[in-house]
Structure 1
Amino acid sequence: MAISLGSRHAADEEARAEVEVLNSRLEKTTQLTKKIQSSLGRLESSGRSVQDAVGPLFGNTQKLQTLGTNIDAVLSAIDRIRQPSDIKSNEEEIIRKGPEEAGLAAFLSSMKRVNKALSEMQQTNLRSNQQAAADLGRLLKSGNTQLEGHFKRLLQEDSMPVEPLHYITKDKPFPVLSQDTTTRLGLMNSFIASSTRQSSISGESPIVQAYASVRGPYLTSTLQNLAFASVNTARKQTPDAVYRQGTNGMGTYARGMEGIFLAEYDNICSLFSRDEFGRVLNLTCQGAISELARTLRELNTHIKANLTTDCYLAYEIIEIMSNLSSNLDSRTGELKPSFAAALKPIRETAKWSLGELLEDTRRRISATVNIPLDAAAVPITSETMTRLQTMADFLRPISSIMISLGDGGWKSGGSSNASSDQIPSLSSFDIGADGKQIFAHYSMDTIDTLLNTLEQKAKSTLQKTKSTIGVFIANNATIVDRMIRNSDLQPLLSPRMADVERWRKTGTQMYTMAWREPSTHLLDVQYTNRGSQRPPSGSAAAIDSAAILKGLSSKDKDAIKDKFRLFNASFDDLVAKHKSLSMEREVRETLARQLQQMIEPLYGRFWDRYHEVDKGKGKYVKYDKGSISAVFLSLG
């Protein structure tokens, strides 16, 4: 028990000792906390003192930095103000020398520096720079003027006129600018074009006009001799000579123009931007096209003065110029309206010619054509058909004219609702069904006009000789038919040949009417005795002429003799007249065949029955069946 109490007392003592240790540590911690709080208080007080001391110093430093920045800006502005006069001083000497003396590369570099400085100066918009900007602007303008002059001089060196026939006859392309020239011209054009775009003045680059002012005369001069040749080859050696296709110089002129224009377009594409191609090409070619228009006006005057013989030249020129316009348009997309305007006088004359040629046919027949007494065809028929044949050689341009006039439009003097300022496109030159059909109608209108007018003139001249009028009409209709079938008109007019055939039949019928008179003498009454039987009407071998005559009275026999005599007189007279007439081979053969078919059967029947009336003496019966058949054969 005593041991137990002692152990508990030792444990309590130990616990009291630990509590005292903890209390001692807590007291030290409290003292340390107070020291820390005291230190923090002193530190906070010191921080406020530092802040109060450093704050004004920091503010002054910021002000000094701002002041330094402003000073730098002022110095920079002073440099910019001084810069224009420095640039002007540095670049003026180079620019004043010009691109030839200073060298193109150095000159362009100097101009670029001036241009850049002026652009920057205009952006700052400082009043103090206004005078300097004006000085730089004048310097830049002077430099541009010198560049333009140098551009033109350099271009002129490669713009001497050439002989176009050298390139046309040898089928060689026309020359273009050399690569070296193109490079230098391109550098100048690029700079001036860029300068123009950057300037406040709107408009195209002056290089466009400069280029056209040099190359335009080159084109005109090169083509000048071809223009003269086109006019000279139109002059007639023989007044009534008909124009022959391809004998005028217009085709060569057009080939030269196409070749040199395409070469010029290549030059333009090498120098200018795409949006300038059309403008430059039109300006450059304007003089050459004006010369073309003058040439076409001269040719038009010649054509109008010789319309009946030289209208074909108008048709040829239309085709040549239309092909030229289409070819250039397909390559460049330009110049078509200019060519249309130049071609307009020729095109109007070509349209007018169609109706005028019809009127000329009427006038010539009425005023100058004399109907031959032998009924021969007159020259105007073959001349008119030759004209239509020649027109068929120009069917492409004529088809386009016909389409623009419309069917029958030639009757209104060549007026058209379509605009004459528009040149036909390639599609309008395709010889389609419409164009051919309208030309076929015009051809038949021409033929009807010809034959109608000839018939009227023949009736007024040969009033009482219808047979001669008939042969005359048949002759002319036959020539028309023949000249259609033996030419390119045949496929065009084959559906209308029946109309021509009607004219020939009309003439044939008028002629054969005169041969009805001898036929009437071969009509008789079959005479028989009352007691005799009517003779058979079968074959000739079954007819006994002597037996038939034996049954006739003397009066009846005398009537038969008179019929033979009258027939002979009328027949011989008509045969003589027939042989005196001039007939085309086809007409003579046709008439001989028709007369034989009309008269020979009647005569054969009459001869079979009554040839014994003069007992073979030939006093009344002049022809037997063989001899009269021979006469008909001789008529053919």
Structure 2
Amino acid sequence: MDDETAEIELLQQNLQKTRQLSKRMTSILDTFDTRIARLEKSILPLYTAAQILNKRRNNIDQTLLKIDDVASNQSDLSNEEGLILRGPQPGQLTVYKDALERLNANIAFKGEDKDVDKIANLVETGAKKLTQLYTKVVAEGSSGTTPAPGTSDAIMLTSFPASLLPSLSPVVKFLRTLPLPSTHPSHPAAQAILKTLMEAQRGYADMRGSWAVKCLDGQGKRLVVRANEVDPLVTGREFGEWVELILGTAEEEYKLLQELSPLSSPGSMSAAFSVLLVPVLRLFNTILSSLITLTKKNLQKFSFLALSAYEVLLSLQYHWEEILSCASEQLRDKNEFKDGLPALRSLCLRSFPEFLVDLKLGATSRGQADTSTKIMDFVVETVTYISKIPEVQGAVSAALTALGDGNWKMGEGIQVGVNNRIGDGDEDAILKHFIYDVVATAITSLTTISRTARRPAYGSIFLLNNVSYLRAFLLDDPRSNSIPKLLSSSAKDLLNSNYRTAKAGYFDANFSPLMQAMTDDPKDRSGKSAAKEKFTRFFDLFDEVIERHRIGRVMEDDDDGRRAVGDEVIMLVVPSLQRFIQKQKERDFSKNPQKYIKRTPEDIESQIRNVFS
């Protein structure tokens, strides 16, 4: 038992010593960790600096190797010179590009070496050879046969052939990397290369501008040639399509210029675009001047050509300004597109008073036969004129607003300038004022002609026919639903009241004598002889009326209106005749009534219906 106790005590003593040793070891290890951390913190900046130095040493070594490689490669320039002088061969653009890059690298590392000038000349020659290839491809893409004017293919944009872009785009991309004064001020060939690229870019603009004119010229000339053969509004619409084609072409050409120009700086782009636009603008000015000259020769005929062209230019002005903003300031100042607007506007302003003058002159037209009841030319022109206004209403309203409310009367009771203060939204009111004056002037001329007719009965038919024609095609059965909207309430009242007046005058001149023939004379006591005379006079007058209506047809262009007038005539004449016959028979005016009553009321009605059928 004592032995076991002794062993336990010995073990406890050993365990205590082990713990003390472990504690000392842990303390020593903690001290080592602290010292290692301090050492690492001290060594880290030195390690980082060493890494940077090693990287720089590697870069220097690689640069020295490149210099040695360039020096060895340029020891003999004969091979490079032969390659450059031959120019870029088909499929070997990359080889040519690498040769020029090596030459440029030699210039960069040679400094003041005596071979620098020779290498610079080779670089300049290489740039010229590349621009020659560039110009050749551009010329190929800017030539060919244009579609015939008037065909569906003629209205298209003059785009660059897509098949040539793969061969041209790499050339353009490399030309833009060549040394220029702005990027390589110390390069000996930079100035010469810039001049070469400027010439190539100008050549590009010349060729593309000429090609655009070639594509647009035929369509433009066709407008002028056909202007005498087609409706002026059709010519105006075709002119608008042609102008839109010009703008579309200019827009596409600018996008193409951005993609294919050797120099991409804003200044060089705007200069080249200006060169491209000059022939296009010259063509536009030529065609517009031809149309203006044609319109001036016969403004009455071509007034709607001027109005239509004016409306087109007004609507496209903002688009054109956007395109011109890409050109040089000098070209923007000389704007053929904007200059054409005043010329067209002056023609439009002239057309309104001149049209009214032509309507007034219609009252003095000669050659009207005494029995003529036809529709006057100026009446047809009035309906046609007003019917065309909705198609160019914007231009008409703008021009009338510029002219001033009422000034189209040329000072007749109007103080010029008094009503010129027009607010926004008054354009429609001014247009309605003008159309009212057109209708009023036409009716005034018709009334003058009818009153100066030697045979009033025919004059009344003439007035009814013409006024009803105006009323029918402007109010009752217009050629367009937009026409009645252009007529003010005053204009509508004017048409209706004059139609009623004309119809009343027609009845008075043609049928009042018939009605008077059947009127009893209070001074005649017997009445029998007078009745016989009245029957004779009535049928004589009726025969005259029937013959008159065979010569001068009533409302020949309006079947419904003519039948309606015939019904009114029957309601006026036949019942009165029936009452008159009945009254005279009751008076026993004759032993042989059939001798004087040549036709029954039914026969009279049938004859009237035949006349107005």
In the superposition, the TM-score normalised over structure 2's length comes to: 0.63
1:178 corresponds to which residue? 165
Preserved CA contact (<8 Å) 1:111 1:143 = yes
Name the SS for the 1:195 alignment partner.
Answer: coil
Preserved CA contact (<8 Å) 2:465 2:554 = yes
2:5 corresponds to which residue? none
Could you tell me how far apart the structure 2 residues matched to 1:559 and 1:310 are? 63
1:300 corresponds to which residue? 292
2:134 corresponds to which residue? 154
Could you tell me how far apart the structure 1 residues matched to 2:129 and 2:321 are? 32
User: What displacement does 1:338 show?
Assistant: 4.5
Would you say 1:483 and 2:483 are equivalent positions?
no
Aligned CA distance change for structure 1 residues 275 and 294 (closer, same or farther; 3 Å): same
User: What displacement does 1:227 show?
Assistant: 1.8
Alignment of 1:465-484 (within 5 A): 465-484=455-474
Given candidates 614, 629, 636, the residue that maps to 2:590 is 614
Could you tell me how far apart the structure 2 residues matched to 1:103 and 1:412 are? 76
Could you tell me how far apart the structure 1 residues matched to 2:427 and 2:593 are? 69
Would you say 1:263 and 2:259 are equivalent positions?
no
Name the SS for the 1:158 alignment partner.
Answer: helix
Preserved CA contact (<8 Å) 2:87 2:129 = no
Preserved CA contact (<8 Å) 1:304 1:349 = yes
Alignment of 1:221-236 (within 5 A): 221-224=211-214, 226-235=216-225
Name the SS for the 1:174 alignment partner.
Answer: coil
Could you tell me how far apart the structure 2 residues matched to 1:330 and 1:632 are? 69
Q: Mind listing any 5+ residue stretches in structure 1 that lack a counterpart?
A: 1-85, 119-128, 200-204, 418-431, 528-552
> Alpha-carbon deviations, 1:553-606, whole Å to 9, x = none?
973433444444444444443343344322224464354344344444444433
Could you tell me how far apart the structure 1 residues matched to 2:179 and 2:371 are? 84
Preserved CA contact (<8 Å) 1:99 1:146 = no
Preserved CA contact (<8 Å) 1:99 1:147 = no
Could you tell me how far apart the structure 2 residues matched to 1:516 and 1:383 are? 33
User: What displacement does 1:621 show?
Assistant: 4.0
Name the SS for the 1:467 alignment partner.
Answer: helix
Could you tell me how far apart the structure 1 residues matched to 2:358 and 2:118 are? 71
User: What displacement does 1:389 show?
Assistant: 2.9
Q: Mind listing any 5+ residue stretches in structure 2 that lack a counterpart?
A: 1-70, 89-94, 187-193, 418-423
Alignment of 1:57-96 (within 5 A): none
Given candidates 258, 274, 284, the residue that maps to 1:282 is 274
Alignment of 1:208-227 (within 5 A): 211-224=201-214, 226-227=216-217
User: What displacement does 1:266 show?
Assistant: 1.4
Aligned-partner residue type, residue 352 of structure 1: R
Could you tell me how far apart the structure 2 residues matched to 1:398 and 1:441 are? 12
1:422 corresponds to which residue? none
Larger Rg: 1
2:563 corresponds to which residue? 589
User: What displacement does 1:346 show?
Assistant: 4.0
Would you say 1:576 and 2:553 are equivalent positions?
no
Could you tell me how far apart the structure 1 residues matched to 2:364 and 2:177 are? 72
Could you tell me how far apart the structure 1 residues matched to 2:370 and 2:108 are? 91
1:557 corresponds to which residue? 528
Could you tell me how far apart the structure 2 residues matched to 1:103 and 1:274 are? 29
1:21 corresponds to which residue? none
2:498 corresponds to which residue? 503
Aligned CA distance change for structure 1 residues 571 and 248 (closer, same or farther; 3 Å): closer
How many residues align structurally? 488
1:359 corresponds to which residue? 357
Aligned-partner residue type, residue 294 of structure 2: H
User: What displacement does 1:293 show?
Assistant: 0.9
Could you tell me how far apart the structure 2 residues matched to 1:116 and 1:471 are? 104
RMSD: 5.0
Alignment of 1:616-631 (within 5 A): 617-631=593-607
Preserved CA contact (<8 Å) 1:521 1:563 = yes
User: What displacement does 1:476 show?
Assistant: 1.4
1:492 corresponds to which residue? 485
Preserved CA contact (<8 Å) 2:431 2:486 = no
Aligned-partner residue type, residue 506 of structure 2: Y
Preserved CA contact (<8 Å) 1:568 1:622 = yes
1:81 corresponds to which residue? none
> Alpha-carbon deviations, 1:364-404, whole Å to 9, x = none?
66356635623222344324423443444444544554454
User: What displacement does 1:180 show?
Assistant: 5.1
User: What displacement does 1:217 show?
Assistant: 3.8
2:54 corresponds to which residue? none
Preserved CA contact (<8 Å) 2:360 2:445 = yes
Aligned-partner residue type, residue 160 of structure 2: P
